[in-house]
A = this chain, B = another copy of it.
């Protein structure tokens, strides 16, 4: 019995399994196994509509077990790949048992990952837009800021709450900003105190024209349409960093916002980086048959592979269309290797490109024909509905779209699970990290940078008390006493902190003697030093 092991449950991995199932039929001598962190495949093109709620949360994802009934699915994350011993390890399930799987053939379809390295504050404060959970997080953030803006008296804070920034003018960014813009402006009607003129939706794009993959006439159509709907386009602008309440642009400009979505950063999967094989732009180089040279039985495809098209001689772009076609070639070549037979070299001409602009409009370039507006939108919906895997999903999405025409917009904020107990935050110089008199919900540990602690003294204004640096912490007194902050802390330089919430603090600090003693000594010392507090 031979095992074909597929890593990754995106289009590349799942369609490889699907084609293998068809080609191998009911034969008992080959096992098809697939390892993926989730038990479903996400249909990316419809994710933007999850933000606006016009497609139900789970309707853009299809269970892999349903699509590939003869494949053994391991719902685990891959931890290590050992090409020499021909085995992989996967994370543990309940009870922490490590899982190891051997293979005869390995298909690497791990895609790429989101990475914010090198841009300060993005990891902490920007919302990525790649997975289903991201779409849900963006939706919840939008509803949350609208809720807050509705009851916020301070115009400065309200401005940050009602500004929405999306970075990246490719398909993903444009579709996200279009849906967000429609959703925010429609949802705001349900909030009694919101002035809709205060809403700002901004798209940042590093080039001069958005949607660089499309002919410029279509891109210009899209720009005009978005502008008409109220999206501010900032071309030739790059995002340089972020804080909790601002997007920082290259050149020093600062846009205050509580909702920053970044669609830009796709980096190679770190697992791929560990493999001792030749790479190009971080992607695994494969031959025309999608096998890794010098590694018989090891294959790669999709976004993590560097595939040269046999006809054009060019590298394939990382799109779902290509991954799906590559899967069919790969599966056929793999079966030819197992059973004997001729292999085929991969070649595929993309059928077209489409981008939805929301509100019944889209742009499409199909076999060289340029279409825009309602017709393109109709095509977009028809083609993607056909391509959505699984008949039941097709029916559900068609129903969602129908209901969406007649029912009002949904504004429930689905909070699931507890919020993070320990999180990182980034501050630029001169920002207030915590304010005297506010509620003390977090303890902060400085990772790098310097802060100043001050307190307002009647008749003397704000008096600086202390400076703190890396490894020191603040905010502990309000946590222990459950009272308001007794001091204000501001960043003097660019500052990174780790924030620990009340519950994690209570749990950790009351049971670990080293920490308990440390915090108690610290509090005593600070109280001895400090002038009497008005609180």
A209 in contact (CB, < 8 A): no
Q: Is A19 an interface residue (CB 8 A)?
A: no
CB of B133 within 8 A of CB of A415, answer yes
Tell me how many chains of this kind the complex includes.
2
Size category of the A interface is 35 or more
Contact A441 B411 (CB under 8 A): no
CB-contacts of A431-470 with B (<8 A): 434-435, 437-442, 445-447, 470
A192 contacts B by Cβ under 8 Å: yes
Of A216-224, A266-274, A370-378, A416-424, the one with at least 4 CB within 8 A of chain B: A416-424
The yes or no answer to A92 lying at the interface (CB within 8 A) is yes
On whether the beta carbons of B61 and A412 are closer than 8 Å, the reply is yes
Q: A445 is contacted by which of B73, B74, B150, B512 (Cβ under 8 Å)?
A: B512
A25 CA to B213 CA in the complex, in Å?
55
A96 & B439 in contact (Cβ 8 Å cutoff): yes
Which of A62, A193, A420, A440: most chain B Cβ within 10 A? A420
A85 part of interface (Cβ distance < 8 Å): no
Given contacts A392-B408, A407-B392, A413-B40, A507 and B422 within 8 Å (CB-CB): yes
B424, A395: Cβ atoms closer than 8 Å: no
Interface pair B508/A143, CB less than 8 Å apart: no
Residues A382-423 near B (CB distance < 8 A): 392, 395-396, 399, 403, 406-408, 410-422
User: Which of B58, B157, B258 is close to A412, meaning CB atoms less than 8 Å apart?
Assistant: B58
- Report which of B53, B96, B144, B417 forms a contact with A416, defined as CB distance below 8 A: B417
Are A93 and B148 neighbours in the complex by a CB distance under 8 Å? yes
Contacts of A403 in B (CB 8 A): 395-396, 399
**Are B507 and A504 within 8 A (Cβ)?**
no
A132 adjacent to chain B (CB < 8 Å):
yes
A56 adjacent to chain B (CB < 8 Å): yes
The answer to whether A97 has its CB under 8 Å from any CB of chain B is: yes
Q: CB within 8 A of A40: which of B39, B412, B424? A: B412
Given A39-B412, A63-B412, A514-B514: 15 more A-B contacts, CB < 8 Å: A40-B412, A58-B414, A61-B412, A62-B412, A63-B190, A65-B191, A92-B438, A94-B157, A95-B245, A97-B439, A133-B416, A392-B407, A399-B399, A422-B504, A508-B508
Report which A residues bind B (CB closer than 8 A). Answer: 38-40, 53, 56-58, 61-63, 65-66, 69-70, 72-75, 91-99, 132-133, 136-137, 143-145, 147-148, 150-152, 157, 161, 190-193, 244-245, 258, 392, 395-396, 399, 403, 406-408, 410-422, 424, 434-435, 437-442, 445-447, 470-471, 473, 484, 498, 500, 503-504, 507-508, 511-515, 518
30 contacts between A and B (CB under 8 A): A38-B412, A39-B147, A39-B411, A39-B412, A56-B57, A57-B58, A63-B190, A66-B408, A66-B411, A69-B190, A70-B192, A72-B151, A73-B150, A75-B413, A92-B441, A94-B157, A94-B245, A94-B258, A96-B434, A96-B438, A133-B415, A137-B416, A396-B403, A416-B416, A417-B417, A417-B420, A418-B420, A421-B422, A421-B504, A498-B511
